[in-house]
Structure 1
Amino acid sequence: MEKKLVVKMIKNCFKQYYETDSNPINEQDLEVLTKQILDLKEGEPQTELYEIVNDVVYEFLTN
């Protein structure tokens, strides 16, 4: 899976929750989320990537 694509999807997902163009997540958290998403996708290949990204970002924001 392309890491750059996942990072872009994470940033786009955050835009749903934050209207400004600023990135509300630091690089360390972004790396952790990216790894978590890639691991989940590897473990659940039948699940759509956008669903995993949305779920992980939502969980990150609510915890």
Structure 2
Amino acid sequence: MDEKWLKKLIRNCFLHYGHDIETFPLTNSEWYEFCQTIMLEKQKQPNLDLYEIVHDVVYDYLTK
């Protein structure tokens, strides 16, 4: 999976929830963790849409 494309999905999801990545930047380790979590979840549940997984992961991050 292309990491650059995945980061774009994550950034767009943050914007969807009203959070600007430029204002509240993520660290490199946070980006890595997001990507790894999303790819692992996609492997566990291949029938789920990637956009749904990204939204779930970002929502979990924002609500914790």
Deviation, 1:54, is: 0.2
The corresponding residue for 2:10 is: 10
Structure-2 separation of matches of 1:23 and 1:6 = 20
Structure-2 separation of matches of 1:21 and 1:60 = 13
Report the aligned-residue RMSD.
Answer: 1.5
| SS in structure 2 at match of 1:22 | coil
TM-score for the superposition, normalised by structure 1: 0.85
> 1:11-52, CA deviations, whole angstroms, 9 ceiling, x for partnerless residues?
11111222x461522221111011000110011110000000
AA partner of residue 38 (structure 1)? M
| Count of residue correspondences | 62
| SS in structure 2 at match of 1:47 | coil
Query: Structure 2: which 5+ residue stretches go unaligned?
Result: none
Describe the shift of the 1:27–1:12 C-alpha distance in structure 2 as closer, same or farther (beyond 3 A): same
